[in-house]
Homo-oligomer: A and B are copies of this chain.
Amino acid sequence: VPGVITLTTDFGLRDPWVGIMKGVILRLVSDVHLVDLTHEIAPHDVLEAALALEAAVPFFPEGAVHLAVVDPGVGSTRRPLAVSARGHFFVGPDNGLFTAFLRDGEWRAIEVARASGPDTPASVGIVELSRTFHGRDVFAPAAAHLARGVALERLGREVHDPMRLSWPVSSRTREGIAGEVIHVDRFGNLITSIRAEDIDSLPPARDAAAAGGVGRVVVAGVGREPMRMVRTYTDITPGDVAALIGSSGRLEISMRETSAAVTLGFGRGTRVLVRSGKP
């Protein structure tokens, strides 16, 4: 069975950098599927890439290698990292890209050694050719080695303090569940830090029946009207704004066939509250 390597970068698709990383990989391993997650991460936006990985990784086969290069610190002293967690491998700079997989559960992290270092067997052969393109010179070879079965430990020395991002979460307040918009997708849907299970923990409104359901409403932005929660996009009345649980299990604010982000002027960081009540 061929291995799988996914690629996530902020390189864009205009320059041949992603193709170059794939060339490097294919020199080292041939029996592999190369799958692009996205190369349109906003330049240097580590959190956006970390959230994309959180959403995508669970749908890939066990043993997949996830190569991610969003690297404002390339050439600095930040460490190159390889991680094993939840049956998957991760390779990229140690800047928080893999936070979703380092928050709980078991994981193991390795600082990837250069070929010149004392810890890398010559057979692994990771060579730093440039100071500015570690994706090509360090991370792609490391991902290829993992995909062809080289043990994680052979890539370098174990580290116990990989960097983790401050992770966008939701919190229970007296008013309900408070969170924020963490991403705007191509359709203008506003994806929030509030998860389905957070909402399930909120008691329904006493007047839930009158509210026509569980009686939970969403308020986004300051001084806004509450909007109702629906099951799916087609339940939204054209022109209305509504909230629903999207495909990643997160609360989304959406409009029907138009951009909620543009219409409302909302974006990353907009505060969102789920509370009991009727719209």
Question: Which A residues are within 8 Å of any B CB, using their own CB?
Answer: 1-2, 4, 6, 8, 11-20, 22-24, 26-27, 30, 33-40, 43-44, 52-53, 55-56, 59-61, 64, 72-76, 130-133, 136, 185-187, 231-235, 244-247, 249, 257
CB contacts (< 8 Å) of A8 on chain B: these are 16
Q: What are the nearest 6 A-B pairs in CB distance?
A: A75-B232, A133-B247, A23-B60, A12-B186, A23-B59, A19-B37
Closest to A72 in B: B257
A44–B258 CA distance with the chains assembled, in angstroms: 10
Number of this chain's copies in the complex: 3
A247 and B76 within 8 A (CB):
no
A34–B60 CA distance with the chains assembled, in angstroms: 14
Q: Which of B60, B245, B249 contacts A26 (CB 8 A)?
A: B60
Name the distance in Å between A198's Cβ and chain B's nearest Cβ: 17
A75 and B234 within 8 A (CB):
yes
CB contacts (< 8 Å) of A249 on chain B: these are 130
Name the distance in Å between A41's Cβ and chain B's nearest Cβ: 8
